[in-house]
Amino acid sequence: MLGILKSLGMTARAALRKPVTIEYPEFHREIANRDRAFPILIWDFEVDEPYCTGCHACERACPVECMTVVMKDNPKHASGESKRRKIIDEFWIDYGRCMRCNICVEVCNFEAIGMNNTWAGHELSRYDRSDLVMDLDMLLAQSKEKKVEPGLRA
Amino acid sequence: MVVEDRELEVIDMPINMGPQHPSTHGVFRMVLIVDGEKVVDVTPHIGYMHRGGEKLMEAMDYRQGIGYADRTEYLAQFSAELCYCMAVERLMDIEVPERAEYIRVILTELNRLSSHFMFMGAFGIDAGLFGTSFTYAFREREYLQDIFEEVSGDRLMYAYFRVGGLAWEVPDNFTQRVHETLKKTQQGIRDIDDLMTKNEIFMARCQNIGSFTAEQAIAYGLSGPMLRASGVPFDLRKDEPYSVYDRFSFAIPVGRYGDVYDRYLVRLEEMRQSVAIVEQALEQMPPDGPIVPEKMPRRLRTPPAEVYAKVEAPRGEWGVYLVSKGGDKPYRLKMRSPSFCNLSGLREMTIGQLLADAVVILGSMDIVLCDVDR
Amino acid sequence: MTDVILGAPMVDELGHPFVSALLGLIVITLVMTVAVMYGTWIERKVVARIQQRLGPTRTGPLGLLQPIADTVKLLTKEDLRPATADRITFEAAVFAIFVPAFLAFVVVPFTADWVIAPLPLSLVYLLAISGLSFIGFLMAGWGSDSKYAFLGGMRAAAQLISYEIPLILAMVGVVMIVASADVYDIILYQDKVPLIVWQPLGFFIFLVASIAELERQPFDIPTGESEVAGGVFIEYSGIRWSMFQLTSYVNMYVLSLLGAFVFLGGWEWPFGRDIGWGYQLLLTVVKMGLFVVFYLQVRATFPRIRIDQMMSYAWKVLIPFALVQIFLNGLVLVYDLPDVTLLITSGLATAAMVWVVYQSVRMTPREPLQMVSVPARSTV
């Protein structure tokens, strides 16, 4: 009988505590700085072009082969504005395949790719699976508008 | 009306607890043949979650494969990552720096806490609670997942350990955050203890159900809390210590009766011991130091050899048998999963019990279906 | 108190008793339907608070429109019927459960003046009517032509029949003391002291038996969620299923009202009959609410008992102790002992019952876990 009374007392005490629910979408939980949502590309504001040169390092290292990279000659290099000989032409990441393992960030030689650590990286619901394939503009959008500062860039 | 006098045919009724279970164990199918309320035969059907994980890992090198080890044992991820990294480190003869070892141990033990919380939650539901134990347990899991997110970046699939140490350094307030989290989760252990352990209904439901003697447990190849509940004091952290486990003093809870209640008590006590280990590790951890060895090769190529590495995961002995023929990808990787081996004892445990007990016994085994089917 | 007071029906300026009773019935049915719908809201909110989360919050302010949303959804669902089900049994089962529950409200005295049909044997009527519902469970289990439903129906029938007996025996003890089988008289008897003081054992037995009658945790084996996935009601959908659910809540209200009237004093204690119908109604609702909250808390706290343990609890513990209570009542009444003897003896019997249950569960002494703490062997 005592155990039963103990359980009843426990639930009575728990009923008086504050609920731990965070009511999404009015309130959002704070995410850590190192949160790994999905990869995005970083924009270089000094030279006004992406950091990414299209070297295929991340494409080779990806375990699920979710990236497609095409590079081109950098027109800004010929005119002397930028030190990058090649620049990224087209870049697709299939967010439906990406497993968010951070290996692309680790192997990048130019620190051109980072993990989105904002809520926008998590709120990516789409009605069609093929809408999850992000192209270069979509990947650069958040960094161009200075909305995100990725945490781990090792 | 004349009724013929026939012999009434009495058959045992097959009941199918189908792949879609109300109990939260994943896609597992159990065909029970019952005679009234008593179970006469059990046939488990597995394989609904087979994804060819071992074959996929043959195409991954030793950094890419860590994410796959996570996804196989998705409730004790750090144990799986630790075992995989240990196997490769033994093949390549790499020595992990001390600070990295301590951080690995801290995170693995915190993961043991969160895995046992999941067990407490799901076990309460199997026994018939209306979800109270589940919410208390998941409240604590959220705190643990918060600290894992601060360290590794993800809430469930961490991919944080690397061959040779860790992927990146822990944040600056790591020690203080771990202390805070430990204090908060102890409230959860107390809550669940108050709610379930001494409750007479719970005890009547769980005692003397599904007992296994020590000889039977060893014969069926059980490991982990199921083996220790049957009275065999075997824990890989003590008997074949790996990493830095030989520097901590902790006790191993060993049951006497091998029934469902003992397994629950063993896991509850293991949670307290894990808290003790984490506190000792936080004190002993060197405050700074490298997290990967200095002479770390850029590409991880293993010599042609074989190795079997095992760890004490929350469910039992999780092992990796790695066969390498040179190169940077394994030739064959087999994961010895404790859930699969523990499940082999289901039939023996359940025959002779009542129908309601079959669910409780399955719940007490704490299986992870991704691990059973890989 | 032996003079039966013919309670005046609610709308008595009409003068015609039949029409007044009919109006009373309509009002009760409507009010109770809405009350039962909002009973689901209360349950979800209370159980959520116990689990440290919020209940429904989005449909309307504080989730108050949630029951309406649920009702609309259930009304518009397709009414499925298995092809091999026995049609008449399947469809009539719902009514066999639903109707007796509402019939019980005919004799419930909400305040001193509000009774639809003041019968001199109203307690017998109440218990008899609420005992009819098990036929509906059997019909639902058999008519669904499904193994799970069949199992659930058998279990439900066994449970309901077994726990009727302690419930009735606890009431018999009360009737012996009050010397009347009318709920109205039982309430009037409690103008100084509620009956819970004189009959703690009877109260305890009533409490446990009523949870079993309602098929709520810890006695919800017929609708066991994790094993037989809904049990008897597995083949019902839409409006029929919602009628089953609502019946469960109507039964809860009926038994809560019964408990409030018989053991807690109803609207009579502590202020007597002269405070006006507003306060009397409030007292009734508050006392009923105490029972309801207790049932909800018990639901969220306890695991499910196994069927054989439940049967042995009813037949080996509750019924013998209910008979003990009756025997003690008889002793006190025959030898004209003072009332306080009732309290002492009944209290001792309650303690004895608790001890018996305690012993039976912890009969085999369990040694605690051994903590083996050998130092680790050195690494190989």
Same domain, C64 and C156: no
| Residues from chain C contacting residue B255 (CB–CB below 8 Å) | 369-370
B136 and chain A: CB distance < 8 Å anywhere?
yes
Task: Please say if the pLDDT value at position B57 is more than 80.
Answer: yes
Of C53, C354, C357, the CB nearest to A19: C53
- Give the model's pLDDT for residue B108: 93
Same domain, C61 and C168: no
Query: Nearest-CA distance from C304 to chain A in Å?
Result: 13
pLDDT score at C292: 92
Q: Give the model's pLDDT for residue B23.
A: 62
Cα within 13 Å of Cα(C270), Cβ side: 1
| Amino acid B113: pLDDT | 92
Mean pLDDT within C103-113: 81
User: Is A31's CB within 8 Å of B149's CB?
Assistant: yes
Q: What is the C-alpha separation between C349 and C321, in angstroms, rounded?
A: 8
Residue C232 lies in a domain: yes
Range C92-116 average pLDDT = 83
Contact C301 A19 (CB under 8 A): no
Tell me how close the Cα of A14 comes to any Cα of chain B, in angstroms: 9
Contact partners of C by the rule of 3+ C-beta pairs under 8 A?
A: A, B
- Closest-CA distance of chain A to residue B138, Å: 11
Identify the band that residue B145 occupies on the pLDDT scale cut at 50, 70 and 90: very high
Q: How far is B38 from chain C (nearest CA, A)?
A: 11
pLDDT of residue C88: 84
Supply the pLDDT for residue C28.
Answer: 83
Interface contact flag, C48 A1, Cβ < 8 Å: no
Output the pLDDT for position C2: 29
Q: What is the mean pLDDT of residues B25-45?
A: 85
pLDDT at A16: 87
- B196 vs B194: CA distance, rounded Å: 6
pLDDT digits (tens, 9 = 90+) for B278-301: 999 999 888 888 888 888 887 888
Whether residue C115 is found in the same domain as residue C27 = no
Q: Which two tokens stand for residue B198?
A: 């001494």
CA distance A105 to chain B (A): 12
Q: What pLDDT score was predicted for residue C376?
A: 58
How far, in Å, CA of C318 to CA of C164, rounded? Answer: 11
Residues of chain A found within 8 Å of residue C357, distances taken between Cβ atoms: 1
Instruction: Please state the rounded mean pLDDT for residues B185-205.
Output: 85
Distance from CA of A125 to the nearest CA of C (A): 21
Local confidence band at B200 (pLDDT 50, 70, 90 cut-offs)? confident
Establish if B143 touches chain C: CB-CB under 8 angstroms.
Answer: no
Residue count (chain B)? 374
φ, ψ for residue C257 (rounded to 5)? -65, -40
Q: Average of pLDDT values for B187-206?
A: 85
Higher-confidence residue of C2 and C182: namely C182
The domain containing residue C100 runs over which residues?
82-359
Q: Quick one: pLDDT at residue B22?
A: 65
The answer to whether B200 contacts chain C (CB < 8 Å) is: yes
User: What integer is the mean pLDDT of C241-255?
Assistant: 87
For domain B13-373, is the CATH number 3.40.1160.10? no
Q: What is the pLDDT, as a whole number, of residue C4?
A: 34
- Check whether B321 has a pLDDT greater than 90: yes
Residues of chain A whose pLDDT is less than 50? 154
Average pLDDT on B192-203 reads: 85
pLDDT digits (tens, 9 = 90+) for C6-28: 444 444 445 677 777 788 788 88
Q: Are residues C183 and C47 in the same domain?
A: no
Q: Is residue C187 part of a domain?
A: yes
pLDDT of residue C224: 63
In a domain, C1, yes or no: no
**Predicted confidence band at B111 (pLDDT cuts at 50, 70, 90)?**
very high
Tell me what ipTM this predicted complex has: 0.85
Closest Cβ–Cβ partner in B157, B171, B195 for A7: B195
- Please tell me whether residues C157 and C34 are part of one structural domain: no
Contact flag A34-B67 (C-beta cutoff 8 Å): no
CB–CB contacts below 8 A, A to B: 77
State percent of chain C over pLDDT 70. 89
Mean pLDDT over the full length of chain C? 80
Look up tokens 């209306």; give the residue.
B130
C-alpha triplet C322, C325, C327: angle, nearest 5°: 110
The span from the CA of B143 to the CA of C241, in Å, is 39
Q: What DSSP assignment string belongs to C17-78?
A: HHHHHHHHHHHHHHHHHHHHHHHHHHHHHHHHHHTTS----SSSGGGTTHHHHHHHHHHTS-
Which residues of chain B from 50 to 89 reach within 8 Å of chain A, CB to CB?
A: 60, 63-68
pLDDT for B144 equals 92
Q: Give mean pLDDT, residues B346-373.
A: 87
Backbone φ and ψ of B333, nearest 5° = -125, 115
Q: At what angle do helices C200-213 and C319-334 cross, to 10 degrees?
A: 150
Residue of A nearest to C46 (CA): A15
Closest partner CB to C54 (pick from A12, A17, A19): A19
Chain A contact residues (CB < 8 Å to C): 1-2, 4, 7-8, 10-12, 14-15, 17-21, 23
Give the number of other CB atoms < 10 A from CB of residue C335. 8
Segment C181-230, tens digit of pLDDT: 888 888 888 877 788 878 888 888 899 999 988 888 788 877 764 455 56
Which residues of chain A make contact with B67, given a CB cutoff of 8 A? 63, 99, 101
Co-location of C145 and C37 in the same domain: no
Closest CA to B161 of B242, B102, B91, B248: B102
A101 touches chain B (CB under 8 A): yes
pLDDT band at B53 (very low <50, low <70, confident <90, very high): confident
C64: in domain: yes
| A100 at interface of B, judged by CB pairs closer than 8 A | yes
**Which of B70-79, B113-122, C159-168, C181-190 is predicted with the least confidence, judged by mean pLDDT?**
C181-190
| C143, containing H or E segment | helix C133-143
Q: Is-contact A23 C57, C-beta < 8 A?
A: yes
Average pLDDT, chain B: 87
Per DSSP, helices labelled H in chain B are 53-57, 65-72, 77-92, 98-127, 132-152, 174-192, 200-206, 214-220, 225-229, 236-239, 260-284, 338-343, 346-350, 355-365, 369-373
Q: Would you call A20 and C52 a contact, using CB atoms and an 8 Å cutoff? A: yes
Residues of C in contact with A18 (CB under 8 A): 52
Partner-chain contact C46 A15, CB within 8 Å: yes
Same-domain check for residues C24 and C156: no
Longest dimension (CA), chain A: 86
Do C119 and C170 fall into the same domain?
yes
- The domain A34-144 is classified under which CATH number: 2.40.50.100, 3.30.70.3270, 3.10.20.30, 3.40.960.10? 3.30.70.3270
C312 to chain B: which residues are within 8 Å by CB? none
Percent of chain B with pLDDT over 70: 97
Say whether C301 and A21 touch across the interface (CB within 8 A): no
Residue with tokens 């991340």: A58
DSSP readout, B278-312? Answer: HHHHHHHS-SS--SS-TT--SS----SEEEEEEEE
Q: Report, as an integer, the average pLDDT of B167-175.
A: 87
Please name the residue of chain A whose CA is at the shortest distance from the CA of residue B147: A32
| Phi, psi dihedrals of residue B157, rounded to the nearest 5° | -115, 90
> Can you give the pLDDT at residue A46?
82
Residue C132 is predicted with a pLDDT of 86
Question: In chain A, which residues have their Cβ closer than 8 Å to the Cβ of B52?
Answer: none
Tens of pLDDT, residues C125-161: 888 888 888 888 888 888 877 776 777 778 788 888 8
pLDDT score of A152: 62
Rounded to whole angstroms, the Cα distance separating C245 from C230 reads 11
Q: Tens digit of pLDDT for each residue in A55-100?
A: 898 888 898 988 999 988 888 877 877 788 888 888 899 998 998 8
Tell which wins on pLDDT, C43 or C189: C43
Q: How far apart are CA B260 and CA B362, in angstroms?
A: 10
**Number of domains into which chain C is organized:** 2
Domain match, C126 and C271 both: yes
What pTM does this model have? 0.88
Q: Taking 90 as the threshold, does the pLDDT of residue C368 lie above it?
A: no
Which residue in the block uniquely carries the two structure tokens 């013919």? C6
Compute the radius of gyration of chain A from its Cα atoms: 22
B214 burial level (CB within 10 Å; 0-12, 13-18, 19+)? middle
Domain assignment present for residue C378? The answer is no
Chain segment B229-257, per-residue pLDDT in tens: 888 888 888 888 888 888 888 888 888 88
The closest of B165, B163, B168 to B89, measured between CA atoms, is B163
